[in-house]
């Protein structure tokens, strides 16, 4: 039986990385074999593409180059890691996936949603996540958390308006696909965030509480 594909999404600093390990432990405790991965990246080659994408650089990066590199990394990630794992019945837990492309390249950069949708079908065929946990909080709060943690990469150096558009695109997608998305209020303390995540894992995927 095919494994379950779970993705985590949200603007910078919402707590995706922090909560990834929590979810991993919950799934393991429920007896699942879990592959934890991220985008862009997840395989040696896709991680090299990640470096290209995140590096601050003097040269201006074309929106099309950025978009195609995101999908090039994703194609490799699907080919080498995600699809084989799902086919072996493993669960895949991924820090960001194609909703991030709709939010950042679509909402943030203004690339057309229909172009992204075409690439999504080319690269993924019918594969979509079974559950997407969207961690949501006001942009300023997320950026503040991210700033306290590390020096900004090429995306984190964007203006607040860019991230407002990213957040709104995520929320619009969650409204359009309520059966796939669970929106988590990430503005509260970590224990409360994790309680919401735990409830969603139980309700939507039957993962028993710890």
Which spans of this chain sit near ligand T5A (rule: CB under 6 A)? 10, 12-18, 38-40, 54, 70, 95-96, 100-101, 104-105, 145-146, 149, 155-156, 186, 189-190, 193
CB of residue 97 vs ligand T5A: minimum separation in angstroms? 6
| 123 HSE (CA, 13 A, CB side) | 24
Q: Which is nearer to ligand T5A, 87 or 144 (CB)?
A: 144
Instruction: Name the residue among 51, 4, 49, 44 with its Cα closest to residue 23.
Output: 4
Q: Which is nearer to ligand T5A, 26 or 96 (CB)?
A: 96
Cα 130 to Cα 8, 54, 204: the distances in Å are: 11, 27, 9
CB of residue 77 vs ligand T5A: minimum separation in angstroms? 10
CB of residue 127 vs ligand T5A: minimum separation in angstroms? 15
CB of residue 78 vs ligand T5A: minimum separation in angstroms? 13
DSSP state of 96: -
CB of residue 154 vs ligand T5A: minimum separation in angstroms? 8
Q: Which tokens is 80 given?
A: 């080498």
Q: Which tokens is 9 given?
A: 């999404």
Q: Which is nearer to ligand T5A, 45 or 146 (CB)?
A: 146
Residues 6+ apart with CB under 8 A from 60: none
Q: Which is nearer to ligand T5A, 85 or 134 (CB)?
A: 134
Q: Which is nearer to ligand T5A, 51 or 87 (CB)?
A: 51
Asked whether 120 and 68 are in contact (CB, 8 A), the reply is no
Asked whether 160 and 143 are in contact (CB, 8 A), the reply is yes
DSSP state of 8: E
Q: Which is nearer to ligand T5A, 59 or 208 (CB)?
A: 59
CB of residue 18 vs ligand T5A: minimum separation in angstroms? 3
């Amino acid at each position: 039986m095919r494994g379950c594909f779970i993705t985590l999404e949200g603007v910078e600093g919402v707590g995706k990385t922090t909560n990834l390990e929590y979810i991993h432990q919950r799934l393991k405790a429920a007896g699942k074999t879990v592959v934890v991965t991220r985008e862009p990246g997840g395989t040696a080659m896709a991680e090299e593409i990640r470096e290209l994408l995140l590096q601050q650089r003097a040269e201006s990066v074309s929106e099309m180059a950025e978009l195609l590199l995101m999908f090039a990394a994703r194609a490799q990630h699907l080919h080498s890691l995600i699809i084989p794992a799902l086919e072996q019945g493993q669960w895949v837990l991924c820090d960001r996936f194609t909703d991030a492309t709709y939010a950042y390249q679509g909402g943030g950069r203004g690339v057309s949603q229909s172009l992204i949708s075409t690439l999504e079908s080319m690269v993924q065929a019918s594969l979509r996540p079974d559950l997407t946990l969207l961690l949501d909080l006001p942009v300023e709060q997320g950026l503040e958390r991210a700033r306290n943690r590390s020096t900004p990469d090429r995306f984190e150096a964007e203006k607040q308006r860019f991230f407002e558009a990213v957040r709104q695109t995520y929320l619009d997608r969650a409204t359009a696909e309520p059966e796939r998305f669970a929106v988590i209020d990430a503005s509260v303390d970590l224990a409360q965030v994790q309680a919401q995540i735990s409830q969603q894992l139980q309700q939507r995927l039957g993962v028993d509480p710890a």
